[in-house]
Structure 1
């Protein structure tokens, strides 16, 4: 009987496993539209409700351009030189942020999300004309701001931003709109429009295509069906018959 019970637990585990949706976010550090999308739509959804259902790849570059002169890389950014520096900070943070084993509540992905959201929320309004990297690091459990800052002010930051530029141009050259949101490496204008106008709703619909819809999505996805409840009822009935 114990073996049957363990077998049912295995079934429950399989049924409750989540398939993460890969989301690529092409954005700019000082772009108002990027800031609005990240802080008002993506962050509130991913921070809590659907954090276990997404795998975000951040690509800060947008409509910038670059040219290589010897060992030096020169950038021209959509919103000016300050954005070039901001893009480097974002690039270095994405590459350098690491989770600590003694702070298990903070993963690398959650630290990146919190830090980027903080930077985008402050936007162009730098207090005392000082870039808010240190402030956002201090407020969001980022313990290696010095490494990120050093990276942003060195050739390392330039190379990381160049890599983001190459990735952006490989995807779309020039990038048609900022931000651009790509689900599972599949882009079309309709998905882009839906993601920008109702990220929560579209993500819920997208998740429901491949797995049971999360409870927080009930009543939000296109079908409105509750896929989880019937499974739990059947499993619960089966377990009860064992005892």
Structure 2
């Protein structure tokens, strides 16, 4: 009886965030895009840091890029809205998504890349600052693997955001709403907290 009572007393100390389905958030962005950078640093990262327990987050660094297949060799080249440095930064972020097993650490690494505004050149520094093993990411960056993964990022975007005409492109619970896209730019926390159907985390009330 005493053990049961102790467990009951402890229950309120645990988050109530698991009493409903998580909110699915897809973000299509670009490594050198000012609007992507502002959204990532001012909205996405703070919200992720406080509400990751109720989020299924998918980050895809592609945006308004174009993929060109190299005939006969199964390789790819890319053209990006903000030039070649953005293409390389996008590949870096894509490689990081695949080679950093802990998602919280992967999002932190991406946050650092967006913050430095140096694209792939910030990779080693951000790996050091976030405690990431950079070797696999570095090997991926300038390799057929990296280009294949970036090609696949484009396929993902074509599947879920084929009508993308703005970056960052934000999809909540797998249904795109232009109204939510604009609202998320300034109040992602409000969008997520409204979409979550369970007991609201304390951060939602702040």
Do these two structures clear the TM 0.5 threshold for a shared fold by scoring above it? yes
Contact persistence 1:23–1:183 (CA under 8 A): yes
Count of equivalent residues:
202
Distance 1:200 1:15, change over 3 A: closer
What is the root-mean-square deviation of aligned Cα atoms in Å?
2.3
Q: CA deviation at 1:41?
A: 1.0
Matches within 5 A, 1:71-150: 71-98=74-101, 108-124=102-118, 131-143=121-133, 145-150=134-139
Relative to the length of structure 2, the TM-score reads 0.88
Contact persistence 2:75–2:148 (CA under 8 A): no
Is 1:33 the equivalent of 2:22? Answer: no
Contact persistence 1:32–1:123 (CA under 8 A): no
In the alignment, what sits opposite 1:51?
Answer: 52
Q: CA deviation at 1:20?
A: 2.3
**In structure 1, C-alpha distance between the alignment counterparts of 2:128 and 2:82, rounded to whole Å:** 26
**In structure 2, C-alpha distance between the alignment counterparts of 1:93 and 1:15, rounded to whole Å:** 29
Is 1:205 the equivalent of 2:163? Answer: no
**In structure 2, C-alpha distance between the alignment counterparts of 1:216 and 1:28, rounded to whole Å:** 28
Gap runs ≥5 in structure 1: 99-107, 220-243
Contact persistence 2:27–2:59 (CA under 8 A): yes
Is 1:166 the equivalent of 2:168? Answer: no
Distance 1:4 1:44, change over 3 A: closer
The structure having more radius of gyration, on CA atoms, is: 1
Q: CA deviation at 1:56?
A: 1.1
Q: CA deviation at 1:16?
A: 2.4
**In structure 2, C-alpha distance between the alignment counterparts of 1:167 and 1:13, rounded to whole Å:** 39
Q: CA deviation at 1:109?
A: 1.4
**In structure 2, C-alpha distance between the alignment counterparts of 1:8 and 1:186, rounded to whole Å:** 39
Relative to the length of structure 1, the TM-score reads 0.76
SS in 1 for 2:121: coil
Gap runs ≥5 in structure 2: none
**In structure 1, C-alpha distance between the alignment counterparts of 2:169 and 2:23, rounded to whole Å:** 16
Is 1:175 the equivalent of 2:178? Answer: no
